Amino acid sequence: MKKFRSVIVREGVEKAPHRSLFKAVGLSEEDLNKPLIAVVNSWNEIVPGHIHLDKIASFVKKGIKEAGGTPLEFNTIAICDGIAMGHKGMLYSLPSRELIAASVESMIQAHMFDAMVLIASCDKILPGMMMAAARINIPTVFVTGGNMLPGIYKGEKVGVSSVFEAVSLVKAGKMSLNEIKELESFACPGAGSCSGMYTANTVSCLIEALGMSLPYCGATPAVNALKYRLAEESGRKVVELLERNIKPSDILTDEAFENAVRVDMALGGSTNSVLHLMAIAHETGVKLPLEKFDELSRETPHLCNMNPAGPYFLSDLFEAGGVPALMKELKPLLNLNVLTVTGKTLKENIEKAKVLNRGVIKPLNNPLHKEGGIAILKGNLAPEGAVVKQSAVDASMLKFVGEAKVFNSEEEAVEAVLNKKVESGQVVVIRFEGPKGGPGMREMLTVTSAIIGMGLSKSVALITDGRFSGATRGPAIGHVSPEAAEGGPIALVEDGDKIKIDIPKRTLTLAVEEKVLKERLNGWKPPKPKVRRGYLYWYSKIAGSASKGAIWKKI
């Protein structure tokens, strides 16, 4: 038997106590003579993206056993961002990413597993597990749980974002209570990550683009049996990677991250992907600065008109050929010789891929937009940068000048929008919602949906040091850095200040004289912490800037 690192806990007379404990969970001598493969699962009964992962795990374990490994499963936490949205529960969402990474690291290192298969869906769990994979660096294959099918309501495809936007339609008298009740019953028809190109599905596609999951895994719906076949093959494949000693560090290279960013730009993915790709890159030692996203966005056209900005859902992307077909279209722009978990190169993986629907995946020479989905803005209001999904912004709002309407929390802003206290021509500024100030950098689908539902999406812009759900569309600019709690310029904005937004030129400007801003800064005092105990308190002390992925600061 080839020597693997798990011999530390299962070989020699000194390890008789260890073997006795393994035998207590049902392992045989034969099992203990095989490599120990962790099956890391985020299954729970709360999150629709996770409700089916127990079955996926059974197929993974089958594949591991067939290939000669001993699978052992454990679980991580998983927060549903949709359920956490719009209240204090959302404070825990982004911070949970670091908890997940740490929990996977702890379990793998404490028990000396030889390799692992990661199984997850949804926003923070996917990047948290990827961060752990990069940090631990043992042979790993990722099985993403798959997307939810869109619901059908009155003959139209709908998703969870439709329900969020319907709330303000009811408030505005444009939809009845009976209609929203019907909509909420149809919008989310079953298992899987919410059906549009929101954060979870964006990151699922990017994990495949990075080479860490098998081809077609990223866009395969949760309820499609292909997901089970991919899961079983992933179990077999991780044993092969172990035998060949292929690790995440061999796959997660500079070139692989560049590929993933280009795929992100072509998809028009969630702005949260910026945070997560930077955090994963940090764990690998790859330098992926914020500016790189904008550089690649200017070079990479937007090819997929995906919900929430467009009509197509993840199931449509799957039927159009999935991520391999998109990467085949992007072939002239990609690094094709990168290694993947198939043990083959990207070039080999996509050789037979085909675009099956040109409505979903546009040709490289006839894109939806010449530039990619995300733009990075800078200026005196965001010296370290801010992020906007430019592909989801109406052309009339790409350049905008308005007067600031300032709020110190999301709740204040939502109340003002729904009570018609926000007017056309204004720029809603929501601050003290960053990694430190939130704490936790909440997503704000509630307020962006309210703006859309109240009919203000083409006349009101939104700027925040917090962040946005992948289900957000419209002129919503997030990740403004430095954040208000750190004394960033966004902390100095006052009602009535003029703000200039120019997305094509990548500028975000507070039209206030420098002298006045210095006077305001001299009179500014840091706010008292909103939370004084528990995990969020500690998170607020060590969370870094969104401009660097909101990773923990070095102590």
What pLDDT score does 453 carry? 86
What pLDDT score does 2 carry? 66
Residue by residue, pLDDT tens for the chain (555 residues) are 467 999 999 999 999 999 999 999 999 999 999 999 999 999 999 999 999 999 999 999 999 999 999 999 999 999 999 999 989 999 999 999 999 999 999 999 999 999 999 999 999 999 999 999 999 999 999 999 999 999 999 999 999 999 998 998 998 899 999 999 999 999 999 999 999 999 999 999 999 999 999 999 999 999 999 999 999 999 999 999 999 999 999 999 999 999 999 999 999 999 999 999 999 999 999 999 999 999 999 999 999 999 998 999 999 999 999 999 999 999 999 999 999 999 999 999 999 999 999 999 999 999 999 999 999 999 999 999 999 999 999 999 999 999 999 999 999 999 999 999 999 999 999 999 999 999 999 998 889 989 988 999 899 999 999 999 887 888 999 999 999 999 999 999 999 999 999 999 999 999 999 999 999 999 999 888 899 999 999 999 999 999 999 999 876
Distant-in-sequence, close-in-space partners of 248: CB < 8 Å, separation ≥ 6: 133, 134, 137, 138, 140, 212, 284
3-state secondary structure of 486: helix
101-127: burial string, b at 16+ Cβ within 10 Å, e else: bbbbeebbeebbbbbbbbbbbbbbbbb
DSSP state string for 222-269: TTSTHHHHHHHHHHHHHHHHHHHT--HHHHS-HHHHHHHHHHHHHHT-
Structure tokens at 1: 């038997």
Q: pTM to 2 decimals?
A: 0.96
Structure tokens at 520: 């305001």
CA angle 300, 304, 307 (to 5 degrees): 130
Of the chain, the end-to-end C-alpha distance in Å amounts to: 42
User: Which H/E stretch holds residue 376?
Assistant: strand 374-379
In this structure, which long-range contacts are made by residues 343-348, counting pairs with CB atoms below 8 Å and at least 24 apart in sequence?
343/237, 343/240, 343/241, 343/244, 343/246, 346/211, 346/259
Sign of the C-alpha dihedral computed for residues 374, 378, 384 and 388 taken in this order: negative
What pLDDT score does 86 carry? 87
β-pair type (115-120, 36-41)? parallel
What pairs with residue 369 in β-bridges?
A: 302
187-203: burial string, b at 16+ Cβ within 10 Å, e else: bbbebbbbbbbbbbbbb
Catalytic machinery residues: 469
User: Residue 112 in contact with residue 136, Cβ under 8 Å?
Assistant: no
Rounded-to-integer distance, Cα 97 and Cα 555, Å: 19
- Number of helices (H), then strands (E), belonging to the chain: the values are 22, 14
Rounded-to-integer distance, Cα 167 and Cα 187, Å: 13
| Residue-wise pLDDT tens digits, 180-196 | 999 999 999 999 999 99
Closest alpha carbon to 459 in 494, 492, 501, 489: 501
β-pair type (498-502, 140-144)? unpaired
What pLDDT score does 1 carry? 46
DSSP state at residue 466: S
Percent helix, percent strand, percent coil in the chain, to nearest 5: 45, 15, 40
3-state secondary structure of 419: coil
What pLDDT score does 460 carry? 96
User: Residue 105 in contact with residue 135, Cβ under 8 Å?
Assistant: yes
Amino acid letter, residue 425: G
